[in-house]
């Protein structure tokens, strides 16, 4: 009886262990590389998975997330023989867990050395000024080179960022002085341009004021001329009426003189009736007019 109980317990334990070995969980961000007797069998996707216990094992769990590798700083000689210190970071993702497991022994070490070598080659073909101004080109060229080299390892290089390119201290000091001089020069130019703009604006304002003043003077002169013209016209009209009236009076006086030469005697009591009498004489009326005593 005791032997049966012991055997049952042993069988139960074996069953539990077998089930535990047969069931495995693969996390969302990883994949599992399964080996059977040391040989690759399959790649497990995320979730609850089953394998043959004691025969199949998960040899490695590969992280499928984007990963970063920091490349150690190194001294590099530029084309114009300037020693600069350069470092970079690499971002990559695994595309083939099987290739990463079996095609390269130490991927992180390999890609770091590959990046350092290609950085030396790239910067060695550039002058110091080019390396400082062509960082984007360096990043792009290095990424393309590393991506091509690591493709057989089941890895895709997403991007590469050169973090720093540091020249020697004496060159850095000289560059700092040059940049300071450039900033001062730029500030002087901006100040001069601002002063020039101010002078132009003031000149434009003065010009506008002169134009407005001239237009005002011209308008005033036109108004004065129009007033004077109207005054002259009024005077001319009055003079014309005056001379026409005088001419009529003169004509009537001539008629009167002619009448007097014919011994026609005219007496008036009121000077205002002179014009009427002259009209009568002009018509040839030779009657004698006797004055009225007041």
Question: Do you know the residue count of the chain?
Answer: 294
pLDDT of 59 strictly over 80: yes
The domain boundary, picked from 111, 137, 167, lies at 167
Confidence of residue 286 (pLDDT cuts 50, 70, 90): very low
56 and 72 share a domain? no
Residue 154 neighbours by CB distance under 10 Å: 19
- Count of domains in the chain? 3
Q: Give Cβ neighbours of residue 268 (< 8 Å, ≥ 6 apart).
A: 274, 277, 289, 291
Q: Is residue 218 part of a domain?
A: no
In a domain, 82, yes or no: yes
Residue 192 lies in a domain: no
Note whether residue 84 is domain-resident.
Answer: yes
Share of the chain above pLDDT 70, in %: 76
Q: Is residue 18 part of a domain?
A: yes
**Residue 213 clears pLDDT 70, i.e. is over it:** yes
pLDDT of residue 192: 84
Do 83 and 32 sit in the same domain of this protein? no
Please check whether residue 240 lies inside any domain of the structure.
no
Range of the domain at 259: 248-282
In-domain check, residue 177: no
Is 83 in contact with 60 (CB distance < 8 Å)? no
Summarize the confidence of residues 189-199 as an average pLDDT.
84
287 confidence band (pLDDT: 50, 70, 90): very low
Instruction: At 171, give phi and psi (nearest 5°).
Output: -70, -40
Cβ neighbours of residue 77 closer than 8 Å, sequence gap 6 or more: 83, 84, 124
Last residue of a domain, one of 138, 167, 196: 167
In a domain, 46, yes or no: yes
More confident call, 139 vs 267: 139
pLDDT at 257: 56
Same domain, 7 and 86: no
Question: pLDDT tens, 104-113?
Answer: 999 999 999 9
In a shared domain, residues 127 and 148: yes
Q: Per-residue pLDDT for 1 more than 60?
A: yes
Residue ending a domain, among 62, 86, 108, is 62
- Asked whether the whole model's pTM tops 0.75, one would answer no
Residue 140, domain CATH: 3.30.479.30
Reported as a single tens digit per residue, the pLDDT across 113-172 is 999 999 999 999 998 888 888 889 999 999 999 999 999 999 999 999 998 888 877 666
| 175: number of Cβ within 10 Å | 14
């Amino acid at each position: 009886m005791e032997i049966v109980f012991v055997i049952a317990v042993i069988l139960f334990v074996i069953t539990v262990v077998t089930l535990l070995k047969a069931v495995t969980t693969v996390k969302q961000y990883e994949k599992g590389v399964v080996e059977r007797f040391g040989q690759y069998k399959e790649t497990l996707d995320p979730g609850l998975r089953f394998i043959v216990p004691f025969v199949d094992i998960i040899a490695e769990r590969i992280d499928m997330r984007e990963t970063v590798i920091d490349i150690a700083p190194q001294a590099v000689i530029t084309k114009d023989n300037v020693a600069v210190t350069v470092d970079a970071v690499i971002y990559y993702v695994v595309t083939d867990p099987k290739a990463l497991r079996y095609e390269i022994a130490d991927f992180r070490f390999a890609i770091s050395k590959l990046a350092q070598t290609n950085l030396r080659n790239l910067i060695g073909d550039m002058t110091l000024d080019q390396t400082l101004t062509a960082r984007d080109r360096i990043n792009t060229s290095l990424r393309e080179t590393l991506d091509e080299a690591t493709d057989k390892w089941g890895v895709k290089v997403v991007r590469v960022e050169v973090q720093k390119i540091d020249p020697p201290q004496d060159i850095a000091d000289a560059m700092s002085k040059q940049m300071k001089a450039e900033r001062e020069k730029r500030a002087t130019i901006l100040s001069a341009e601002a002063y020039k703009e101010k002078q132009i604006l003031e000149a434009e304002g003065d010009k506008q004021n002169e134009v407005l003043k001239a237009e005002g003077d011209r308008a005033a002169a036109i108004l004065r001329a129009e007033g004077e013209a109207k005054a002259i016209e009024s005077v001319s009209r009055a003079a014309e009426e005056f001379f026409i009236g005088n001419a009529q009076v003169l004509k009537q006086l001539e008629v009167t003189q002619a009448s007097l030469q014919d011994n026609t005697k005219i007496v008036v009591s009121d000077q205002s009736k002179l014009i009427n009498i002259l009209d009568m004489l002009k018509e040839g009326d030779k009657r004698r007019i006797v004055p009225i005593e007041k």
